[in-house]
Amino acid sequence: MSDISLVAALWWAVIVSGLYHGLNPAMGWPLAVSSALMEKKRTALIYALAALSAGHFMAMMVILLPFSMMTTLVYWEREVRIGAGLILIALGIYLLVVRRHPRILSRVPPSRLALWSFLVAMAHGAGLMLVPIYLGICAPQHQDAGHLASGSLMAGNIGTAFLVGVTHTAAMTLAGGALAAGTYFWLGLKFLSKTWFNLDTVWAVSLIVVGFLGLISTHG
């Protein structure tokens, strides 16, 4: 695969994982429906989605920014990518074995949706899932010589982390928002229990898969 098409594929991965997170009821779109119904206002749907998005975006940033700084250490870039892949695989295995949901999540009041969305994305490794993809996009083989100068590399990497976070969150909001609006305006709440599938196993496995892909990419 050429570098350009690889980078394009990685950007698609950012978008697809965003859609995947958005469609998962466990990431919160039913709460936007509930908000709009409780307040009897359509705008409440938008506010709730905005809060869920803000929390999700913050979680992406909290995870991606430290890695964006680490990749300025171009000489250890491979080690960073291996480390990130291993962390992701470890979290996936942990989630497979320990099926319990952290109690802290159920202690967040329904009025603090952004905080809840942030914590749920952190607890489920939604941000970590983006790390190998992000590291692939920032890999030095995709950079020209000018950008490899450390100052511009750092600025570039932070910018890329930001862009990855924004793109991913936008896809997540679009998918979750479409389901929330569809449920609120047309489908009704019966749709909620009809379409909710247990993604716990799929989720944990997808963390492991992305982790492995991250590891394999270090041999490229």
Partner 1 sequence: MSIRPDPTFHATAKLAMAAPVENLAFTLMLSPDGSQPDGIAVVDVDPKSKNFGEIVSSLFMPNKGDEFHHFGWNACSSALSPLTGHAFLERRYLIVPGIRSSRIYVIDVKDPMNMKIHRTIEADEILEKTGYSRPHTIHCGPEGIYVSTLGGGGEDGTDGPPGIFIMDCETFDVLGRYEMDRGAQDKHYDFWWNLPRDYMVSSEWGLPPQFENGIVPEDLLSNKYGHSIHFWDLRGRRNIQTIDLGENHQMALEIRPAHDPAKEYGFCGVVVDTTNLEGAIFTWWRDEDGKFHAKKTVTIPPVPADADDLPELLKGFSAVPPLVTDIDLSLDDKYLYVACWGTGEMHQYDVSDPMAPKLAGKVEIGGIVAKHKHPNGKEFGYGPQMVEISRDGKRVYWTNSLYSTWDDQFYPGERGAAMVMADVGENGGLTLNKDFWVEFPDGYRSHQIRLEGGDCSTDSFCYPSV
Spell out the alpha helix ranges (H) of 98-149: 103-106, 113-123, 126-137
Count the site residues for partner 1 by CB under 8 A. Answer: 33
Give the containing element (helix H, strand E) for 1: none
Q: Give the CA distances from residue 193 to residues 5, 144, 187, 196, in Å, rounded to whole numbers and listed in that order.
A: 39, 50, 12, 5
**Looking at 10, 14, 33, 95, which residue binds partner 1 (CB under 8 A)?**
33
Q: Give the CA distances from residue 82 to residues 39, 42, 145, in Å, rounded to whole numbers and listed in that order.
A: 48, 46, 24
* 96, 125 contact by CB (below 8 A): no
Give the containing element (helix H, strand E) for 5: helix 3-23
Q: Does 103 bind partner 1 (CB under 8 A)?
A: yes
Build a one-symbol-per-residue string for 37-76: x at contacts with partner 1 by CB under 8 A, - elsewhere. Answer: xx-x------------------------------------
**Cβ neighbours of residue 80 closer than 8 Å, sequence gap 6 or more:** 67, 70, 71, 73, 135
Q: Does 27 bind partner 1 (CB under 8 A)?
A: yes
**Cβ neighbours of residue 111 closer than 8 Å, sequence gap 6 or more:** none
Question: In whole angstroms, how close is the CB of 73 to partner 1 at the nearest point?
Answer: 37
Closer residue to partner 1, CB minimum distance, 24 or 218:
24
Neighbours of 133 (CB within 10 A): 24
**Looking at 66, 69, 79, 101, which residue binds partner 1 (CB under 8 A)?**
101
Q: Does 177 bind partner 1 (CB under 8 A)?
A: no
Closer residue to partner 1, CB minimum distance, 42 or 86:
42
**Looking at 99, 144, 145, 151, which residue binds partner 1 (CB under 8 A)?**
99
Q: Which stretch binds partner 1 (CB under 8 A): 73-81, 84-92, 95-103, 130-138?
A: 95-103
Q: Does 185 bind partner 1 (CB under 8 A)?
A: no
**Binding footprint of partner 1 on the chain (CB under 8 A):** 25-28, 30-31, 33-34, 37-38, 40, 99-103, 105-111, 116, 120, 189-190, 192-193, 196-198, 200
